[in-house]
Amino acid sequence: MKIVTLVGSLRKDSLNRNIAKALLALAPKSLDLKLIEIGNLPLFNDDLDGDHAPEAWTHFRKQIQACDGVLFVTPEYNRSVPGCLKNAIDVGSRPYGKSVWSGKPAAIISASPGATGGFGANHHLRQSLVFLDMPTMQQPEAYLGHAGDLLGPDGTLTNEKTRAFLINFIDSYAFWVAKLRDNNA
Ligand code: FNR
């Protein structure tokens, strides 16, 4: 199953990006996780859409259309979803009636150096996914607090409990996506 991974941070040394990278290695064989960049997407503007939409939008929409699910790994900005990720969501949701998100099973991991693990962003994102008709895995939830302490200086995952937690998370997601697929077959 092809799973697109979207990271809500554009930073090179992003904690969330490094957690997403760790997940690529921890995912079971049934999942083909691919990290897709969203920093190149022009800000959504309805005036630019239609037959002459920016190439980056069209390419992004095709990548989402072709996938079997979407994994979001995001920080929290001002208790909400970072603008780059919200922009990607908006781009994929248009033109009206042609959203590429509909029906794609999603899962969310939020991570923050703070104690609350991006809970606000995680749940604001869930609100958008309800509207976009993306079934979203309920359990396990993933709010990774003090995320700076979970990774080494080179950005690799060093915390064994977190590794075990992430393996369980991504295995649960794989199981759930396959179940949804089989139910819809
Ligand atoms: C933050 N940060 C932050 N952290 C948090 O737990 N709750 C919040 O509401 C915010 N708000 C916020 C706003 C803005 C504009 C920035 C730049 C940062 C801190 C944030 O969690 C921290 O910078 C993370 O390291 C960002 O994630 P990445 O880039 O490391 O993945």
So what's the pLDDT on residue 89? 98
10-39 pLDDT tens trace: 999 999 999 999 999 999 999 999 999 999
List helix spans (H) across the chain: 15-26, 55-65, 83-92, 119-131, 160-184
Tokens 């999942």: give the residue.
31
Confidence grade of residue 153 (pLDDT, cut at 50, 70, 90): very high
Question: Are 112 and 74 within 8 A, CB to CB?
Answer: no
Dump the DSSP string for 5-53.
EEES---TT-HHHHHHHHHHHHS-TT-EEEE---TTSPPP-GGG-STT-
**What is the pTM assigned to this prediction?**
0.98
- Ligand 1 pocket test: which of 5, 6, 77 has the largest number of ligand atoms within 8 Å of its C-beta? 77
How far, in Å, from the CA of 16 to the mean position of ligand 1? Answer: 10
How far, in Å, from the CA of 75 to the mean position of ligand 1? Answer: 6
